Amino acid sequence: MTAPIRVTVWNEFWHENPIHWDYVRRSWMSHGYSEESAIEETEGVREIYPDGIHAAIAAPLRKQGFNVRAATLDEPEHGLSQTVLEETDVLIWWGHIVHERFDDAIAERVYRRIVDEGMGFVPLHWGAGSKVFRKLMGTSCAVTPIVNAAPERIWAIEPEHPIARGLGTSFVIPQTEIYCEPWDVPTPDAVVFISSWPGGEVMRSGCCFQRGRGKVFFFRPGHETYPIYYQAEVQQVIANAVRWAANGV
């Protein structure tokens, strides 16, 4: 019998946490939101993810038999002590608004665990802007986010890839924030999914990268104001990605 894959779901956990709402609201207002709508948005996040996005991501993985724990920015060492990392086969990463508050030394520790020891790494959504992902890529990872709710259609370009298993040719997420190409990353080893939105935007939304001993899978859909991580297809992709990134554990 094989031991279950050990997954750590890391979440910034500021949008869903009232103690940070002042900061979050000011950030949104600096992006052009009115105070009123900033308040509405922050409160909306908590309604969707009352226990944090990490809880929503972790629950279906637990049901599938993975050994799952969570970690968040405000914990000591951001919840990613050397011991936690050593006990992690795959690290899922959701971050958005305070990437720069993540400690450099701990980013380096996470990076080392990936490239030197083969921990899998699955950044979701704007996890692409995290220090760890940018260091792995060697490029800016810049993309044009378009702050607009729109349905995202996701196509399985490599339908035989293990991360596309159990999904059809395409599926729709009713509302997501739009990201658009060009996206400044090295050519991925495999592009599994491409997304489009009604305005014509496109994005390589599921991309594999081998970096040192570690497998990296970026999955684009997200945004804290929509219930994306409760959707069955999204959960399926994440579970598939964990199995793929676990490196034969």
Give the footprint of its own copies on this chain (CB under 8 A): 115-116, 118, 135-140, 151, 153, 155-160, 162, 165, 169-170, 172, 180-184, 186-187, 189-191, 194-198, 200-202, 204, 209-215, 247-248
Q: How far is the CB of 108 from its own copies (least distance, A)?
A: 12
Q: How far is the CB of 51 from its own copies (least distance, A)?
A: 33
Our measurement of the distance from residue 180's CA atom to the centroid of its chain's CA atoms, rounded to an integer in Å, reads 16
Our measurement of the distance from residue 73's CA atom to the centroid of its chain's CA atoms, rounded to an integer in Å, reads 14
Q: Which is nearer to its own copies, 45 or 136 (CB)?
A: 136
Q: Which is nearer to its own copies, 74 or 172 (CB)?
A: 172
Q: Which is nearer to its own copies, 85 or 167 (CB)?
A: 167
Structure tokens at 27: 């950030």
CA-based nearest residue to 52, from 98, 107, 9, 110: 9
Q: How far is the CB of 201 from its own copies (least distance, A)?
A: 7
Q: How far is the CB of 230 from its own copies (least distance, A)?
A: 22
What residue has token string 């869903």?
16
Is residue 148 within 8 Å of 133, Cβ to Cβ? no
Q: Which is nearer to its own copies, 39 or 190 (CB)?
A: 190
Is residue 163 within 8 Å of 192, Cβ to Cβ? yes
Q: How far is the CB of 171 from its own copies (least distance, A)?
A: 11
Q: How far is the CB of 12 from its own copies (least distance, A)?
A: 22
Q: Which is nearer to its own copies, 18 or 186 (CB)?
A: 186
Q: Which is nearer to its own copies, 46 or 112 (CB)?
A: 112
Residues 6+ apart with CB under 8 A from 95: 10, 11, 12, 73, 102, 123, 126, 127, 129, 130
CA-based nearest residue to 123, from 75, 100, 187, 131: 131
CA-based nearest residue to 233, from 211, 209, 205, 212: 205
